[in-house]
């Protein structure tokens, strides 16, 4: 289906993060926050579609069920869709002021650069896309010109997604080799990539714990404890056999992001 190329769940999570951080920052939700959330959803959708456009060769091997390699949507239609979505994201940022508008424009340019060129650079691509994702937490501060302790949550989000990107590369090694893409898992080894991903995950949990020192929240603390306890057997299995355990680790880290978000909301 056409909608699957934009990964709607990921877009919804990014939008929800903007609304949650906005509410925690100013204590209310206005049309400003709604425009910001919609803008982020469109930009996220555009980035996902653009990524699929450039990932056709590797997806043919690793993810043949994806919309483009499966024939559900043409590569050209995906490119056009991403451009429309990029334009929509920019449009919804206009009422927010010139600073948020420029911010969104820069993010869109970096998303394109990531998919077209930077993604093929060892770890640099992983770091860039993780940085861009973490900016959903920073965007409310840009919109309101108000930086609070919640802006600090960009750090654990960056680290957690960085870890997940490294994990994803373990599962994509065959396709990445065919596409002449060198990732950390290929340049070093799946075992080394698993250790790096584990270290980044641990750093993300530690940064959440540090955040709790400045902004105590029982629900967030419970979420952190739950994530750490559940992670132990998953990490053991993942590090023992990275090429078999990468799928579970990837899904777990996505769930961990939702747990932390829920801990902020409750």
CB-side exposure of 62: number of CA atoms within 13 Å?
Answer: 20
Specify whether 130 is located in the same domain as 165. Answer: no
Distance (Å, whole) CA 190 – CA 47 = 27
Residues 134 and 14 in one domain: yes
Does 229 lie in the same domain as 197?
Answer: yes
Specify whether 127 is located in the same domain as 54.
yes
The CATH number for 171's domain is 1.20.120.1780
What would the pLDDT profile of 219-230 be if each residue is shown by its tens digit? 999 999 999 999
Mean pLDDT (whole number) for 6-11: 90
Q: Nearest-CA neighbor of 169 among 187, 156, 153, 152?
A: 187
Residues 154 and 132: their CA atoms lie apart, in Å, by 10
- Pick from 147, 162, 177: which residue ends a domain? 147
The alpha-carbon radius of gyration of the chain (Å, integer) is: 18
* Residues 92, 197 within the same domain: no
pLDDT at 2 (0 to 100): 66
H helix or E strand, kind and range, residue 187 = helix 184-187
| Residue 266 vs residue 77, higher pLDDT | 77
Whether 236 shows a pLDDT value over 80: the answer reads yes
pTM for the complete prediction?
Answer: 0.93
C-alpha 120/C-alpha 118 separation (Å) is 5
Residue 1 scores a pLDDT above 60: no
Q: Are both 30 and 104 inside the same structural domain? A: yes
Same domain, 137 and 181: no
Domain boundary among 120, 147, 174: 147
Claim to verify: residue 117 and residue 196 sit in the same structural domain: no
| Rounded distance between C-alpha atoms, residue 145 and residue 140, angstroms | 8
| Domain residue limits at 154 | 148-266
Q: Which residues make Cβ contacts (< 8 Å) with residue 110, sequence separation at least 6?
A: 128, 132
H/E element holding 65?
A: none
pLDDT over 70 (residue 112): yes
The answer to whether residues 116 and 54 touch, using CB atoms and an 8 Å cutoff, is yes
Statement to judge: residues 123 and 179 lie in one domain: no
Quote the pLDDT of residue 153: 92
Please give the Cα distance from 75 to 81 (Å, whole number).
Answer: 10
Which residues have C-beta within 8 Å of that of residue 45, sequence separation ≥ 6? Answer: 6, 7, 8, 11, 85
Both 130 and 18 in one domain: the answer is yes
Q: Are 129 and 239 part of one and the same domain?
A: no
Whether 197 and 239 have beta carbons less than 8 Å apart is answered as no
- Percent of the chain residues past pLDDT 70, beyond the cut: 99
CA distance 142 to 195: 35
Mean of the pLDDT values across residues 77-102?
96
Q: Is 227 helix (H, G, I), strand (E, B) or coil?
A: helix
| pLDDT the model gives residue 24 | 86
Domain count, the chain: 2
């Amino acid at each position: 289906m056409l909608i699957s190329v934009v990964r709607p769940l990921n877009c919804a999570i990014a939008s929800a993060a903007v609304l949650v951080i906005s509410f925690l920052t100013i204590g209310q939700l206005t049309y400003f926050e709604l425009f910001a959330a919609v803008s982020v959803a469109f930009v996220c959708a555009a980035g996902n579609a653009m990524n699929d456009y450039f990932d056709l060769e590797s997806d043919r091997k690793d993810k043949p069920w994806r919309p483009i390699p499966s024939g559900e949507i043409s590569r050209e239609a995906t490119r056009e869709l991403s451009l429309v979505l990029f334009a929509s994201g920019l449009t919804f940022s206009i009422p927010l002021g010139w600073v948020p508008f420029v911010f969104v424009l820069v993010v869109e340019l970096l998303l394109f650069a990531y998919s077209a060129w930077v993604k093929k650079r060892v770890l640099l691509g992983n770091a860039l896309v993780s940085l861009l994702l973490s900016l959903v937490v920073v965007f409310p501060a840009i919109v309101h010109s108000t930086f609070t302790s919640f802006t600090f949550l960009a750090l654990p989000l960056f680290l957690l997604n960085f870890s997940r990107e490294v994990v994803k590369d373990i599962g994509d090694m065959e396709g990445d080799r065919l596409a002449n893409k060198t990732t950390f898992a290929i340049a070093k080894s799946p075992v080394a990539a698993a250790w790096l991903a584990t270290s980044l995950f641990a750093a993300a949990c530690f940064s959440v714990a540090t955040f709790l020192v400045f902004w105590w929240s029982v629900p967030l603390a419970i979420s952190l404890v739950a994530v750490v306890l559940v992670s132990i057997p998953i990490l053991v299995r993942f590090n023992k056999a990275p090429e078999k355990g990468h799928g579970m680790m990837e899904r777990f880290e996505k769930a961990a992001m939702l747990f932390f978000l829920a801990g902020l909301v409750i």
